[in-house]
Amino acid sequence: MLTFPLHNAALDLKGKPPEALPHGLLPIPPEVRELIEMERSRHRPEAFAQAEERLVNEWTVHWYFENLCQEVAYRQTPDGPEVLAVGFDEVLALQRNLPPEEWRALKGYSA
């Protein structure tokens, strides 16, 4: 059973520049998996099944980037988020290098 406060990865990353923040396929933390299981019982199974991959990806990105005040662009995958760009410069460069339809298939995070 999780108890708050949780020590998320973002706490140890505060103050680092965008290039030093996590990139690539992020491991899904056990705490996120536990939060997902806690949440599962609150929803209709068929609806939750449709939403689960999105939640796992969003909550994992949040675990690593909460309150870092950095934009993140990531690809949602069944194995967790694949972070492609962190920070304004990287995100803008990615946006300018991708065809619009590919860019718009990506997900964003900022908090």
Q: Give the shortest CB-73-to-other proteins separation in angstroms.
A: 9
Q: For other proteins, which residue of 19, 20, 33, 51 counts as binding (CB under 8 A)?
A: 51
Tokens of 57: 């990806």
Sheet holding 107-109, edge to edge: 24-25, 82-86, 72-75, 107-109
Specify whether the CB–CB gap between 56 and 40 falls below 8 A.
no
The CB-of-77 to other proteins minimum distance in angstroms stands at 17
Residue in 80, 84, 39 with CA at minimum distance from that of residue 60: 80
Binding positions for other proteins, rule: CB under 8 A: 4-8, 10, 14-15, 35, 43-44, 46-48, 50-51, 54-55, 58-59, 62-63, 66-71, 88, 92, 95, 103-104, 108, 110-111
